[in-house]
Amino acid sequence: MDIPLDIWEIIYEMYHDLTSRIKWKGKYSTSFPIRQGVRQGGILPTHFYKAYIEDLLIQLEESNVGLHLGTNYFGCPTCADDILLLSSSDEDMQVMLNTVNTYSKEHQYTIHPTKSVLLKQNQTSSNSGKESLSAWELGDMKITTSDQATHLGLTRSSKNENMINVDERISLARRTSYSLMKTGVHGTNGLNPRVSYNIYRIYILPRLLYILEILPLNARQLKALSDFHSTFLRNIQSLPVRTASVAIYALLGALPLEAELHKRQLSLLHSILTSENQNLKEILIRQYRLQVNQGTFLERTESILNKYNLPSIEELWENTPTKINWKYTTRSAIIM
């Protein structure tokens, strides 16, 4: 691995001769040594793992198996310690699994069998009748084929994917709101409505809208999200059921649910344009220039930019504003 020596020295110093103590009721236990290295679930392990398997990702790309978009390869998108293998061919997928398995044996780490799932998507009448492998294998293990799997908090499904994710988001937001009721986040005799709204905006709204900015939501799904949003804001203000939505938002200075989604979509667009991942940016601009964007994130984002009189994707590509300037520009445009 091509990791500089000074980085190894920093890692060594961070985890050499570490001790810890337990604090309980204002008192501390006797110190004891820590020998486990990086803590599972911490920030550093995922970064270390991605650096550790960098040559595996290069090997997969150089093997020319997996999905391509034009000349751009995106057969193994990776985030932290989650690797997603993408292929339109059953045989290519098995080759990729063999490559991953061989690499794991060479570097002596184990891939969790129950966390590895194969999901078939976008099957059409033309390819559903083709012969496929009866089972995929990762070494001696058979990979489970499922109709549904979770990746980075998003539930991927062969059908009704959007509705499944919307229902899960609403359910999670509702559970979060119930857990906050004992702190006074409710209507009558609760916290000041503006304080409750700030708590909602920080703790509940991000859970309600997490990762939904990338999904092509229809009117029914947007209405389900909007109903939860407006109902919660109405309840914390103790307003009658028949109160107009305009009044609910105006009294708190809140935005409608759709506007909150627009903010997140525009923020994601800026993150892609300023990303250090050149492959990701090239895919985006290629799809945009070839107008291969019907029903995609690009089409929805371009529509939002036009709606708020903001620069086009092409203009933003050529002259990308800073994150702070873009955040201010989009907020001002949406609020006006």
Q: What is the pLDDT of residues 17-32, one digit of tens each?
A: 878 888 888 888 998 8
Looking at residue 41, its pLDDT comes to: 55
Average the pLDDT over 251-279 and give the result: 92
One domain, residues 192 and 246: yes
Choose the final residue of a domain: 202, 230, 254: 254
Percent of the chain with pLDDT over 90: 38
One domain, residues 280 and 242: no
Question: How many domains in the chain?
Answer: 3
Q: Which residues contact 60 (CB under 8 A, 6 or more apart)?
A: 66, 75, 76, 85, 96, 99, 100
Residue 318 or 128, more confident = 318
One domain, residues 232 and 266: no
One domain, residues 176 and 247: yes
Domain encompassing residue 296: 261-335
One domain, residues 280 and 202: no
Choose the final residue of a domain: 197, 228, 254: 254
Looking at residue 328, its pLDDT comes to: 94
For residue 2, pLDDT over 70 is answered with: no
Identify the burial level of 165 via C-beta atoms within 10 angstroms of its C-beta, where 0-12 means exposed, 13-18 middle and 19 or more buried. buried
Q: Is residue 61 in a domain?
A: no
Q: Is residue 119 in a domain?
A: no
Looking at residue 33, its pLDDT comes to: 84
For residue 112, pLDDT over 90 is answered with: no
pLDDT band at 43 (very low <50, low <70, confident <90, very high): low
- Nearest Cα to Cα of residue 213 among 307, 151, 301, 279: 301
Looking at residue 124, its pLDDT comes to: 56
Q: Is residue 53 in a domain?
A: no
Average the pLDDT over 176-187 and give the result: 91
One domain, residues 239 and 166: yes
One domain, residues 235 and 306: no
Looking at residue 83, its pLDDT comes to: 84
Q: Is residue 151 in a domain?
A: no
pLDDT band at 134 (very low <50, low <70, confident <90, very high): low
Q: Is residue 67 in a domain?
A: no
Q: Is residue 80 in a domain?
A: no
One domain, residues 183 and 244: yes
For residue 94, pLDDT over 80 is answered with: yes
**HSE-up of residue 330 (Cα within 13 Å, Cβ side):** 24
Supply the pTM of this predicted model: 0.79
One domain, residues 170 and 245: yes
Percent of the chain with pLDDT over 70: 89
Average the pLDDT over 322-330 and give the result: 94
Choose the final residue of a domain: 219, 237, 254: 254
Q: Is residue 62 in a domain?
A: no
